[in-house]
Amino acid sequence: DAGVTQSPTHLIKTRGQQVTLRCSPISGHKSVSWYQQVLGQGPQFIFQYYEKEERGRGNFPDRFSARQFPNYSSELNVNALLLGDSALYLCASSRRRGLAGGLNEQFFGPGTRLTVL
Amino acid sequence: SQQGEEDPQALSIQEGENATMNCSYKTSINNLQWYRQNSGRGLVHLILIRSNEREKHSGRLRVTLDTSKKSSSLLITASRAADTASYFCATVPSSSGSARQLTFGSGTQLTVLP
């Protein structure tokens, strides 16, 4: 089975531009989460989408938005890019909405490396 | 913000030695998970330990959890050069409203020298 896929692999943008990142979850997974990982730090939670609705949001500005499509794929949009948005953006999928109980593991994609100049 | 801290930040050992990494966290948890990341790429899930468990094994990995001290450790036995990577602990909070996201620590960079 294919794992979580993300596109593009790398992206270079300039300040003020807008970017769209894409994620396809593992087949059968209905939950997609987005994380930002700045160099040298652990990933930080941005959004969770489940059944096409936003179910959780981290401490990120409104410049960050996302959506989930009927096939459960997802897009992360970032407007008015800042230098500090340079990071690895990770997408993770899981079967269920919650991560407590059971073995509801999140499977991560390889990430999109965004560089803002 | 990060949930907790990993200790040490960096660890360098010889092949065949054991590697121990520690993780501290701040809030009550439902479970704690360890992930591995090679060269800034995607995260690979290693092991999950629930809050009512104290120790868990998976192959060469041993994880302990002390909820009274809000800490966990990951032991990799008989390390190999291929174990070189960054290791992160991540927690799922016990409050149901928040139990939909992983909160990661800052990671330990492990280097295993051949």
Q: Does B106 touch chain A (CB under 8 A)?
A: yes
- The two structure tokens encoding residue A98: 């919650």
Q: Which of residues 52-91 of A touch B (CB under 8 A)?
A: 55-56, 58-59, 88, 90
Q: Which of A37, A55, A100 sits opposite B31 (nearest CB)?
A: A100
By the 10 Å C-beta count (0-12 exposed, 13-18 middle, 19+ buried), B60 is classed as: middle
In sequence order, what are the beta bridge partners of B35? Answer: B45, B88
Write the pLDDT tens digit of every residue in A28-39. 999 999 999 999
Amino acid type, A41: Q
Size of the A and B interface in Cβ pairs below 8 Å: 80
> What was the pLDDT predicted at A18?
98
pLDDT given at position A51: 87
Q: Which residues lie below 8 Å from residue A61, measured CB to CB, with a gap of 6+?
A: none
User: What is the average per-residue pLDDT within B56-75?
Assistant: 97
A48 touches B: beta carbon within 8 Å: yes
